Structure 1
């Protein structure tokens, strides 16, 4: 089994939202921070802009994992400005929020020096951390933790994010008789999301996209995915 160093960030937020890039009217939220949001969190801690943070993550060979749950969802009205030709007008859009998000983000590397550096950075971040927009300020739910782990095959997953599509490759393994009536049951959600950006004339443009599967209720996979185990919780690596 491959030995790795992992840093666990336990974060919570009163409200959180991770926008689906293609949605411009009603803006639904993704249920967990995607790969680009986690890269942005690293950038905030280091005091870097997004593209510099992306370069840092690639250069250091950092991989991510995430698990988390929220208490529910709500809708918020956002007033924003739109530029139409030479005219600037205001408009209102509906943004979906998660309430009471608790998430654990895992930064994984073969290099212990990189993880040790990041532990120091997150204990004294350059900028405030957020789970979504700048309004969604994050608080520490648990102390920053570091340990040695091994890469292992995972067959059962819950409340996590997997690289690739699990469509037709898994089955829900919950017993409906044991599920409270007020608890929603969500099937796996596959989204095509950006994985890399480039800067073009001061703009940030998508270079690559990949499918990712958001897993809510417990699933059993047809084929294992590789990840780590932290406190008896399986965490696929992205």
Structure 2
């Protein structure tokens, strides 16, 4: 199953109040495994950058001044996400901004039924714990040392690892916590499995009905049994 984990950075908290997306980062997952395909873009919001927002993501008005407008790249973005489910942390926030930008471009909104909110998943799985992305990275041992400030692509990459852990980890559905293993150990396991699979001789399926010869041999075998128990059972009946 194909899924897209994404994150946005914005000029503020309210798309209705005129705030805009200034950065988006998307990570492609296939069966909960990163494929290496990503989409990342900065956008010129055509409005001032509040100091409070810049303090969070570090994107200044000057830095964004020569970046493309959202409408210039929205086609590429929509092609990348396709019809896949969209995973985000506090997803209604990101969906609200994404759909606002699409509306400004005269395009249809992304259906909310495609939304997967990792904040909701975290609250269900870890009641009473801290549910920020930083806290979840710490809990699941996800390395976030490169995250100095919020960044859409970095946060999407971190969230993709957290999402896998929230939905069962690398052994999805077993309900067990697997030990951390090195990539070399996993490669050895794969090689051993492949070697075993190549060594197995596959025989054609055996017919279930006995042959005439087998029936004759069975009858001869029964004749050699003295005082069979089934005769005693029949006599009692």
TM range (shorter): under 0.3
> TM-score scaled to structure 2, two decimals?
0.22
Q: Determine which structure has greater relative contact order: mean sequence separation of CA pairs < 8 Å that are 6+ residues apart, divided by chain length.
A: 1
Greater per-residue helix proportion:
2
> TM-score scaled to structure 1, two decimals?
0.22
